Structure 1
Amino acid sequence: MTPSATEPGEPTPEERRAAFRIVRGAPTDEEVAALTVVLAAPAAPAVTTAPATVRDRWSAPEARLRVPLHPGPGAWKTSTWPR
């Protein structure tokens, strides 16, 4: 044997780097590409973006902690002023 030859059962350097090996059959390039995507999907980081939600201010819990309104002349005008 020459120094560059490998044993029949020993994988080549390319086979050692491969993510998977097709042992039987003759898949098309599209089938190999689909298999690659399916096997690589769990390894990819998940991109999750939370949708922007508009909060209903009428039912917001912090509304229960506001200062109570005091009746009187002009109270309706000052009811939205910060306290």
Structure 2
Amino acid sequence: MVIKVVRGNPTPEELAAALAVVRARAAAATAPPPGAERARDAWSDPARIAAHRLPQAGPGAWARSYGPQ
């Protein structure tokens, strides 16, 4: 991105402020809409946890927590 000053003599602070506004607008234009859903990966999907039975509490529960269900 190239920005050219055609009139005036902006200070470095004014130039930095203008550049910040232009970059923020460009980032907002490329961002997905607020209501758009992101695709879930398998690890963060809550259905993965509900797919199999959780071990019951009690004696030996720690041994059942990592074994095949």
Question: Do they fold alike, i.e. is TM over 0.5?
Answer: no
TM-score, length of structure 2 as denominator length: 0.36
Q: Which has the larger radius of gyration?
A: 1
TM-score, length of structure 1 as denominator length: 0.31
Which structure has more relative contact order (CA 8 Å, sep 6+)? It is 2
